[in-house]
Amino acid sequence: MLGHATGGAHTQQALDPELDTFPKLVRRNATRWPRKVAIREKDLGIWQTYTWRDYFEQARLIALGLAALGFRRGDKVAIVGDNRPQLYWAVAATQALGGVPVPLYQDSIEQEMAYIVDHAGARFAVVEDQEQVDKLLHVRDRCPRLEHIVYEDPRGLRAYREPGLLGLDELVERGRKFGEDNPTYFDEEVARGHADDIAIICYTSGTTGQPKGAMLSHRNLIVTAMNAVATEGLGPDEEGFAYLPMAWVGDHMFSYAQSIVTGFAVSCPESARTVLQDLREIGPTYFFAPPRIWESILTGVMIRLEDAARPKRALAHACLRLAQDLERRRLRGQPRPLWKRLLLPLAHLLVLDPLADNLGFRRIRIAYTAGEAIGPEIFVFFRALGVNLKQVYGMTESSALISIQRDGEVRLDTVGTPLPGVEVRVTPEGEIVYRSPGVFQGYYRNPEATRQTLEDGWVHSGDAGFIDAQGHLKIIDRARDVGRLADGTLFAPKYLENKLKFSPYIREAVCVGHGRPWVAALINIDAGAVGNWAERRGLAYTSYTDLAQKPEVYELIRQEIARVNRSLLEDEVLRGAQIRRFLILHKELDPDDQEITRTRKVRRAYIAQKYAPLIEALYSDREHVPVEAQITYEDGRTATVRANLRIRDAETFAVAAAS
C-alpha cells in the first residue's frame, strides 16, 4: 500500500529576522500586548497571572542572572520540574543568551537524569524544588560539567551549603544588578540569535536503548507552530493548559512555541494532583492530552456514574448511548435516524452539557489526542460530549506535528492529512517517512542514530501505516511491532491493547503473538476502578496483587476481553487475531522499572524478556505461574514481590458469526 501525501509545497519559509527566535517573539508580545495575560499559575489557591510584559521582563532578568554567573553562548541548561511559569521563562532566558535549554522529565530517577545531564553537557540546571536539587546533587559527580543549580522553591533548601546552589530570587537579583552595569547586554545577545540556532534539545524517551537528544531549531518550531496555528485558526484569545511534562515536545509546541507565536495564554495547574480540578476552573479553549489522560478522565466519569443512584445512572447511560451512537454513525458516514437526532438536544440538556461542564470542557474549541493511537470508544465518547476532539500525528523529530484531522474531516481510524509544508510517503516496506520544515537538526552527539533516522531530509518514523484514497494518513502500529501469527494472520498488538484499554478496569495491556499460534495478553488492572468495583460487591482485598488475583476480577476481565474479541469481528484484516489466553499482572507496569516509557508507551522487547516465563506459561496448558519481580521505588531502591498468577482462557468468536 504505497502512498504519498502533502499538505502543500515544501519551501524554506522565510522568517522576519526581527522575529526569528522565541526571545525576539516574546519581546514583540511584550510590546504588542503588554497587559494581556501570557501565563497563569495556581499558587496558594489563587490563580496568579503574568502578562506578556512580565513574561519578557522575568525572562530578561533570569537571562541576565545567568550571564552574571558566566553563561556563554552554546551552554546547555537542564530544566526540571512541573510546569511553572518560572521554568518557561528560564527556557526563554536560555535561548536569549544563545544557549540551549534541555528539559527533563520531572519524575526521572537519578540514573536517567545523570545520563541526560551528562550527555547534554549541561553547565546549568534550573529546577523546581528540593526533590530535583537532591537528585542532581546525588549524581553531580557523574556530571562533571554541571556547575550551577538554580532552584525556584527554596523550601527545605535553606540549610544546603553545596557550591553552585542558588535560589531563583537571588539569580534574578544578580541579574538586575548585572543589567544595570551592562544595560545593552541583553538586547545585543538577543540580536545575535538566528532562526537556525538550536532552540531546544528534547530527549526522546525511546522504547529501546538510551534516550536520544533531538535538536530543534527556532525555525523548526516557529514555522511548524505558525503552520498549525494558521491551519487550525488559533487566535491570541485561546486559553491553553500547560500540564504535560515540559520535557515532552508536545508541551513545548503547545504551551511554549504556539503560545508565543500566537500570543495566547496558558495556565499551569497547582500540582500534579489538582490537574482535573484546575482544568475545570480554567475551562481551556485549546486542550491537548495523550490517550492515557482521555482514558483516565473517562474512567473517572464511569466510576462516578457507577456510584450514582440508579435512575440517574440509567438516564446518563441512555443519553451517552444515544449521543455515541449518533457520533459513531457520523464518523462512519452512516445515516443517522431522525428520531435520535431529535432527541439529541434533550440529551445535551440533561446529561452531556452538564457533564462536559463538570469536566471543564464546555469552552473547548479544539482538543487533540496524540502520542499513541486512541481507543475508538474513548474517541467517540468525548466527541459525543461535544468536545471537538481530533487526532494528531507527530513526533519529537518533526517538532511535534506532522498531520492533523481538519474540522469536518474527523475520522475514527486516521490521523488526518499532513500540515502545510509536510510531505509524507510510505516506503515499500510499509514504513511512514516524512519531510517538513519541522524536521529536526539531528540527535545531539549521536551521528550514528541521526544517520539511521534522517536520510536526504526524510525522517524514518518507525511507524507502519498507509495513506488512504482521501489522502488521510493511517497508522497501524510501530513498524517493528506489527507481526504475524504462526499461520500468517496479521497481528497488530497496539491495536488490540488500545481496545482493551477502553475498559475502565484495564489500565495497561501487553499483547503477544508474533510467530505464535494465537494471541495472549498480559493485563494490568486499574486499581481505582477495580477497587471501587470490588468494594461495591463487598469483595475484600489487601493489596494490588491480591486484588489482581481474585477469581472474580479474572471473570470481570474475561468479559472485557470477550467484548474486545467480539468487536474484532468487524475488522476484516485483524479478526483472526483474537485473544485466546490471558493473565493479570501482579504489579503495575512502571516507567521506573523500564517497562513503559515516561510517556506510557509499552517497551515490548524489555517486557518480552522480563516476563518471558509468564509468556511461556501462557502458551502452555498451565493454570498458574509463579512470579518474582523486582520493583523500583521512587528513590531508586528496589524490593521483591512474589505472587502466583492465574492464567485463564478467553472467550473467542467464530468469524462466521459476524457475516
Partner 1 sequence: MSAVAARATPLLEVQGVSVRFGALLALQRVSLEIHPGEILAIIGPNGAGKTTLLNVISGFYHPYEGRILFQGRDRTRLRPPEVAALGIARTFQNVALFKGMSVLDNIMTGRLLKMRSHFLLDALWVGPAKREELRHRAVVERIIDFLEIEAIRKTPAGRLPYGLQKRVELARALAAEPTLLLLDEPMAGMSVEEKEDMCRFILDVNQEFGTTIALIEHDMSVVMDISDRVVVLDYGRKIAEGPPARVRTDPAVIDAYLGVPHA
Residue ranges that bind partner 1, judged by CB under 8 A: 42-46, 155-156, 158-159, 270-271, 273-274, 277
Q: CB under 8 Å to 220, separation ≥6 — which residues?
A: 199, 399, 437, 438, 439, 440, 441
Residue number, 44 or 342, with CB nearest to partner 1 = 44
User: Would you tell me how many other CB atoms lie within 10 Å of the CB of residue 457?
Assistant: 11
H helix runs in 208-272, sequence order: 218-232, 249-251, 258-262
Residue number, 42 or 140, with CB nearest to partner 1 = 42
User: Contact, 520 vs 512, CB < 8 A?
Assistant: yes
> At its nearest, how many Å lie between partner 1 and the CB of residue 164?
21
Cα–Cα distance measured from residue 260 to residue 38, given in angstroms and rounded to the nearest whole number: 8
> At its nearest, how many Å lie between partner 1 and the CB of residue 157?
9
C-alpha pair distances (Å), 161 with each of 130, 141, 149, 200: 13, 16, 12, 31
> At its nearest, how many Å lie between partner 1 and the CB of residue 156?
5
Q: CB under 8 Å to 294, separation ≥6 — which residues?
A: 369, 374, 378, 379, 382, 389
Residue number, 9 or 44, with CB nearest to partner 1 = 44
User: Cell triple for residue 253?
Assistant: 509546541
Residue tagged 473517572 (cell numbers): 300
Q: CB under 8 Å to 453, separation ≥6 — which residues?
A: 397, 443, 459, 460
> At its nearest, how many Å lie between partner 1 and the CB of residue 45?
4
**Residues β-bridged to residue 198:** 217
> At its nearest, how many Å lie between partner 1 and the CB of residue 58?
20
The burial class, CB within 10 Å (0-12 / 13-18 / 19+), for 158 is exposed
Residue number, 159 or 657, with CB nearest to partner 1 = 159
Residue number, 243 or 286, with CB nearest to partner 1 = 243
- Which is nearest to 218 in space by CA: 233, 201, 232? 201
Residue number, 35 or 158, with CB nearest to partner 1 = 158
Residue number, 271 or 644, with CB nearest to partner 1 = 271
User: Cell triple for residue 569?
Assistant: 469481528
What percent of the chain is helix, strand and coil (3-state, nearest 5)?
40, 25, 35
> At its nearest, how many Å lie between partner 1 and the CB of residue 520?
34
Cα–Cα distance measured from residue 403 to residue 421, given in angstroms and rounded to the nearest whole number: 11
Residue number, 281 or 628, with CB nearest to partner 1 = 281
Cα–Cα distance measured from residue 533 to residue 297, given in angstroms and rounded to the nearest whole number: 17
- At 217 the three-state DSSP class reads strand
Cα–Cα distance measured from residue 86 to residue 152, given in angstroms and rounded to the nearest whole number: 7
> At its nearest, how many Å lie between partner 1 and the CB of residue 170?
17
Residue number, 170 or 634, with CB nearest to partner 1 = 634
> At its nearest, how many Å lie between partner 1 and the CB of residue 275?
9
Residue number, 160 or 185, with CB nearest to partner 1 = 160
Q: CB under 8 Å to 413, separation ≥6 — which residues?
A: 376, 474
Residue number, 639 or 657, with CB nearest to partner 1 = 639
